[in-house]
Amino acid sequence: MANDPDALFPSGPTTRRGLLSAFSRRAAERLPDLPNLEGGSPAGRLAPRPPKDYFHEEPPDWIDPVLSGDDLVAEIKDSTADRGMHIWWLGQSGFLVQIAGESVVLDPYLSDSLSPERLRITGLVAQPEQLAFVDAVVSSHSHADHLDPGTLPGVLSGAASFVCAAGIEDLAGERAGGRSPDASLAPGEAEGDLRRVP
């Protein structure tokens, strides 16, 4: 496993189109070639493609989202009845994790509030207000692309709980448009249950 980076990312029924474009590309490239309908393939088997080293591949300069806007929101909302976990990559360091119909957004950066000092590497997947239906928003630390003043007020405009790292509560409240966090977590307190947040 130590030499197999793909072992870190198991495949299965909960892998969604919006997770990471690299996963989508890897999956598409691993699809077998269709057999020639006239001659067929030897013994009815498809020849595997040689593996490619994605772990050491240089990242692209720009990544366009596979799904965005209303299409992304529709997929997320349609998945609430599914059992299991779903994960969507929101670009940059942001993710939306859905478990048993409850949605948590982690480190959302859905604006261009940091331009031109820090350029985005991904296209915008949604306007912040489009994700106001989520149950919780978590900002892991005080970097502006994890605690974005252009994103937090919109995402928090619904009924979501707001959780931040301990020690940045005042800054988090300021960047969230004046809304104080509902809870903060210090290192070692990651075992908290977000359902207990008021």
Provide the CATH number for the domain around residue 128: 3.60.15.10
Q: What is the spatial distance between Cα 85 and Cα 101, in angstroms, rounded to a whole number?
A: 9
**Digit-coded pLDDT (tens) for 168-185:** 999 999 999 999 999 998
Count of structural domains within the chain: 1
User: How far is Cα of residue 56 from the mean position of the Cα atoms in its chain?
Assistant: 21
d(CA 9, CA 67): 20
With respect to residue 183, please indicate whether it lies within any of the assigned structural domains. yes
Q: Is residue 23 part of a domain?
A: no
CA–CA separation, 152 vs 174, rounded Å? 10
State the Cα–Cα distance between residues 77 and 158, nearest whole angstrom. Answer: 15
CA 69 to chain centre: 14
> Is residue 51 domain-resident?
no
Residue in 165, 175, 171, 21 with CA at minimum distance from that of residue 90: 21
**Does residue 10 fall inside a structural domain?**
no
* Residue 37 placed within a domain: no
What span, in angstroms and rounded, lies between the C-alpha atoms of 149 and 151?
Answer: 5
Structure tokens belonging to residue 22: 């690299």
Helix ranges (H only) for 95-145 are none
For residue 46, tell me if it sits in a domain.
no
Question: What's the token pair of residue 130?
Answer: 């489009």
pLDDT in tens, 79-131: 998 888 999 999 989 999 999 899 999 999 999 888 777 778 889 999 999 99
86 in any annotated domain: yes
User: Which domain does 163 fall in, by range?
Assistant: 69-196
**Would residue 47 count as lying in a domain?**
no
pLDDT (0 to 100) of residue 33:
53
The span from the CA of 21 to the CA of 65, in Å, is 7
The answer to pTM > 0.75 is no
Average pLDDT over residues 50-69: 81
Distances (CA, A) of 20 to 91, 109, 127, 182: 8, 16, 19, 30
